[in-house]
């Protein structure tokens, strides 16, 4: 691997302002199409070197959010700051500091793997500095993503997993300070997925970039992210580390048992005390008692369900203020 | 820090890579098809006399066809732009620093070189097929050079604008119909003076006619102008019309392209892909 970069040492060298160790700052972000509000008041921050997962069901506003951050889409209101710059005013120099990996690229099918990576790299060469030497060496990078053997193949013959690893290599070739990964494992088989997850961990550990990843897969977010933001119906419903989220929102256990021939299910905070009370009351007629610790998945599904119900019946459910979970 | 020169260099490199792809394997067959078909037409028409002018149809068609292939550069730009938008190549360019600039330079290099190859495929054997071309005269090549240059700029910038408006490869396909119609009335395959006046006027608005006229002016003897409008090669008018299109293209194409590129995003590419899948499925 090429030599590592000390983030702190080049922070002062960039010409653009960086706001106190934050790669991304979003405050009151809104996006409207006509009368439809896609995002209503989204606020969050991503620290330098952090891996943040933006998690939510399809249609929650993940892709809209990431496209605004990438400078590909205009916002309706709110303040957005990416690497110290408003994406709506981003220059080519700003663009050279980030890498973008979209849901599924099919571009440049006739190009050879090495050709495209070298061409993309050449675009970053003017933005090389003594501290961040751009671009990465093509062969080093191909080896890092496990495509050394495919270097001279046309891109159209790559498998799905290989193609995705090439997309990541192209996202990294300019030695970005910030990498966007938008639903990167959609359509990958389990093995390609696992390989891809290992690659994302290396982006943080070896390439030391800030990573923003969107996914609708909780398992993926839990595996990869330092912090998870759950987005539902255009707003943030939870924000925290995977263990925080489990503790805070998934603190209830599921207790189920059979009594009088019918299965009962309760979600309770203290399952031990609940079970004691249950036996004291109904004693011998309790059958098939099961206590299951609520998982992050249960919490996630409950949060998303609540947000969807609130959106469908705004009058019946108390409106949740922005960032209600914090 | 200026990154214009490196972006231009990257663009030229890009154009050469795409050029190699355009002329290898099965692509080569596609590339040769139309120039060779044109040569065949010239071959079969080489002895047909044009009225009592003493000129042969093949001799007139060959330089006109050179002009036509320059004009077809516009269609190449439209087709490639549509394909590159659909598969995300353009979005990739947008996601990279100076990527759009390098992409466009690459496209112009590749398509201009492709057209030069077409012209060589037609002109080199053509010289032996038909008689009466003035290829030894240096002024022929001077005229050829400026007509070619203005023509490449005018037609490819028009193509870039049309390609920005036409969103899909299918739309690009429809666009080739009016272009073929325009070629039919532009005096490439038969003298334009045989057409009704109003068709002549329409033809004279567009570059195809002037490219054909300019190329005939370059390679035919002066007396052959007898079959042209006003019995003249009209150099001044040729330069004015082609020049005007080139200027309009150079001014407007970047504006239109920037507008189009601004709308490109991951979701717009995904939407187009879904539509394309529906068409196939």
With CA atoms as reference, the chain A residue closest to B106 would be A119
How do the pLDDT tens digits run along chain A, 326 residues long?
444 444 333 333 444 444 568 999 999 999 998 888 899 999 999 999 999 999 988 888 998 999 999 998 889 999 999 999 999 998 999 999 999 998 767 899 999 999 999 999 999 999 998 888 889 899 989 988 889 999 999 999 999 889 988 998 999 999 999 999 988 887 778 888 888 888 888 887 877 789 999 988 888 888 899 999 999 989 999 899 988 887 766 567 778 888 877 888 877 777 788 888 888 887 778 888 888 777 778 778 878 888 888 888 765 544 444 433 33
A230 and A236 in contact (C-beta within 8 Å)? yes
A129 and A97 in contact (C-beta within 8 Å)? no
Residues A230, A234, A237, A241, CA torsion sign: positive
Report pLDDT digits (tens) over B162-212: 988 887 778 888 888 888 899 999 988 888 888 999 999 999 999 999 999
Secondary structure class of A174 (helix, strand, coil)? coil
A125 DSSP assignment = G
Give me A177's structure tokens: 């300070």
A139 and A74 in contact (C-beta within 8 Å)? no
CA distance B134 to B221: 7
What is the number of other CB atoms lying within 10 angstroms of the CB of residue A161? 19
CA distance B149 to B165: 25
Share of chain B above pLDDT 90, in %: 48
Size of interface A-B (CB pairs under 8 A): 86
Compute and round to an integer the Cα radius of gyration of chain B: 20
| ipTM for this prediction | 0.85
A234 DSSP assignment = T
Give me A302's structure tokens: 């409950």
* Beta strands A227-232; A235-240: pairing state: antiparallel
From chain B, pick out residues whose CB is under 8 angstroms from the CB of A63.
266-267
Confidence of residue B246 (pLDDT cuts 50, 70, 90): very high
Residues in chain B, how many? 281
Please report the pLDDT score of residue A216 as a whole number: 87
Residue pointed to by tokens 């653009």? A16
A115–B97 C-beta distance less than 8 A = no
Please report the pLDDT score of residue B26 as a whole number: 81
What is the number of other CB atoms lying within 10 angstroms of the CB of residue B43? 14
Residue B86 lies in a domain: yes
Q: Which of A25, A21, A19 is nearest to A48 (CA)?
A: A21
The domain spans of chain A are 7-244, 251-312
Three-state secondary structure of chain B:
CCCHHHHHHHHHHHHHHHHHHHCCCHHHHHHHHHHHHHHHHHHHCCCCECCCCCCEHHHHHHHHHHHHHHHCHHHHHHHHHHHHHHCCHHHHHHCCCCHHHHHHHHHHHHHHHHHHHHHHHHHHHHHHHCCCCCCCCHHHHHHHHHHHHHHHHHHHHHHHHHHHHCCCHHHHHHHHHHHHHHHHCCCCCCCHHHCCHHHHHHHCCCHHHHHHHHHHHHHCCHHHHHHCHHHCCCHHHHHHHHHHHHHHHHHHHHHHHHHHHHCCCHHHHHHHHHHHHHHHC
A109 and A156 in contact (C-beta within 8 Å)? yes
Q: Which of A199, A240, A190, A243 is nearest to A217 (CA)?
A: A190
CA distance A145 to A85: 30
Nearest to B7 among A72, A123, A182 (CB): A123
Burial A110-149 (b: 16+ CB within 10 A, else e): bbbbbbbbbbbbbbbbbbeeeebebbbebeebbebbebee
CA of A298 vs chain B CAs: smallest distance (Å): 30
Residues B207, B210, B212, B215, CA torsion sign: negative
**Total domain count, chain B:** 1
From chain B, pick out residues whose CB is under 8 angstroms from the CB of A95.
95-97
With CA atoms as reference, the chain B residue closest to A126 would be B3
CA angle A225, A226, A231 (to 5 degrees): 60
Give me B276's structure tokens: 């394309």
Please report the pLDDT score of residue A12 as a whole number: 39
B14 and B106 in contact (C-beta within 8 Å)? yes
Share of chain B above pLDDT 70, in %: 97
A3 DSSP assignment = P
From chain A, pick out residues whose CB is under 8 angstroms from the CB of B274.
none
B157 and B74 in contact (C-beta within 8 Å)? no
Choose the most confident range, by mean pLDDT, from A136-140, B4-8, B253-257.
A136-140
The domain in which residue B207 lies consists of 4-276
Residue B159 lies in a domain: yes
Q: Does B95 touch chain A (CB under 8 A)?
A: yes
The pLDDT of residue B237 is above 60: yes
Average pLDDT, stretch B89-112? 91
B258 and B90 in contact (C-beta within 8 Å)? no
CA distances from A321 to A42, A43, A56 (A): 11, 12, 18
Average pLDDT, stretch B70-90? 90
Please report the pLDDT score of residue B45 as a whole number: 85
A105–B17 C-beta distance less than 8 A = no
Please report the pLDDT score of residue A110 as a whole number: 92
The pLDDT of residue B86 is above 60: yes
Please report the pLDDT score of residue A14 as a whole number: 44
Please report the pLDDT score of residue A227 as a whole number: 94
Going by C-beta distance under 8 Å and a sequence separation of 6 or more, which residues neighbour residue B35? B69, B118, B121, B122
From chain B, pick out residues whose CB is under 8 angstroms from the CB of A109.
87
Please report the pLDDT score of residue A315 as a whole number: 56
Average pLDDT, stretch B109-125? 94
Q: What architecture does CATH give domain A7-244?
A: 3-Layer(aba) Sandwich (3.40)
CA of B169 vs chain A CAs: smallest distance (Å): 15
């Amino acid at each position: 691997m090429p030599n590592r970069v000390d983030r702190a040492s080049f922070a002062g060298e960039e010409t653009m302002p960086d706001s106190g160790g934050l790669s991304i700052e979003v405050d009151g972000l809104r996006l409207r199409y006509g009368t439809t509000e896609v995002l209503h008041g989204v606020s969050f921050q991503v620290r330098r070197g952090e891996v943040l997962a933006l998690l939510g069901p399809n249609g929650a506003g993940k892709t809209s959010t990431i496209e605004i951050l990438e400078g590909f889409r205009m916002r309706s209101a709110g303040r957005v700051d990416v690497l110290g710059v408003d994406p709506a005013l981003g220059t080519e120099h700003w663009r050279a500091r980030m890498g973008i990996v979209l849901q599924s690229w099919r571009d440049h099918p006739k190009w050879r793997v090495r050709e495209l990576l070298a061409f993309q790299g050449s675009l970053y060469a003017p933005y090389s500095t003594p501290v961040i030497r751009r671009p990465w060496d093509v062969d080093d990078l191909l080896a890092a993503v496990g495509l050394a053997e495919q270097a001279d193949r046309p891109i159209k013959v790559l498998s799905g997993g290989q193609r995705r690893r090439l997309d990541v290599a192209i996202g990294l070739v300019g030695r970005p300070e910030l990498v966007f990964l938008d639903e990167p494992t959609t359509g990958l088989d389990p093995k390609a997925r696992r390989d891809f997850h290992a690659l994302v961990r290396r982006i943080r550990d070896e390439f030391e970039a800030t990573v923003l990843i969107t996914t609708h897969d909780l398992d993926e977010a839990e595996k990869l992210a330092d912090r998870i933001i759950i987005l539902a119906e255009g707003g943030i419903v939870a924000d925290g580390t995977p263990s925080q989220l489990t503790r805070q929102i998934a603190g209830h256990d599921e207790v189920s048992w059979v009594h009088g021939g019918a299965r009962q299910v309760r979600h309770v905070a203290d399952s031990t005390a609940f079970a004691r009370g249950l036996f004291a009351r109904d004693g011998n007629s309790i059958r098939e008692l099961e206590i299951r610790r609520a998982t992050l998945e249960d919490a996630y599904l409950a949060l998303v369900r609540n947000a969807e119900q609130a959106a469908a019946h705004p009058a019946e459910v108390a409106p949740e203020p922005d960032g209600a979970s914090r | 820090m200026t990154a214009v020169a490196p972006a231009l260099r990257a663009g030229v490199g890009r154009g050469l890579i795409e050029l190699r792809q355009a002329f290898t394997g099965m692509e080569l067959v596609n590339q040769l098809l139309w120039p060779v078909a044109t040569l065949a037409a010239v071959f079969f028409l080489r002895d047909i006399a044009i009225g009592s002018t003493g000129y042969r149809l093949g001799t007139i068609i060959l330089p006109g066809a050179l002009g036509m292939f320059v004009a077809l550069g516009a269609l190449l730009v439209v087709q490639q732009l549509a394909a590159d938008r659909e598969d995300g190549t353009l979005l990739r360019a947008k996601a990279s620093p100076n990527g759009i600039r390098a992409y466009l330079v690459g496209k112009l290099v590749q398509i201009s070189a492709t057209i030069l190859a077409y012209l060589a495929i037609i002109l080199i054997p053509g010289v032996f097929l038909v008689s009466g071309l003035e290829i030894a005269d240096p002024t022929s090549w001077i005229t050829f050079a400026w007509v070619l240059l203005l023509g490449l700029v005018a037609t490819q910038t028009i193509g870039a604008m049309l390609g920005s408006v036409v969103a899909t490869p299918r739309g690009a396909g429809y666009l080739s119909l009016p272009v073929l119609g325009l070629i039919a009335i532009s005096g490439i395959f038969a003298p334009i003076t045989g057409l009704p006046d109003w068709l002549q006027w329409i033809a004279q608005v567009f570059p195809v006619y002037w490219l054909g006229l300019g190329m005939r002016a370059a390679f035919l003897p002066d007396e052959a102008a007898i079959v042209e409008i006003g019995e003249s090669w009209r150099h001044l008018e040729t330069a004015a019309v082609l020049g005007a299109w080139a200027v309009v293209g150079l001014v407007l194409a970047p504006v239109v392209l920037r507008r189009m590129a601004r709308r490109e995003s991951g979701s717009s590419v995904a939407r187009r892909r879904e539509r394309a899948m529906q068409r196939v499925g």
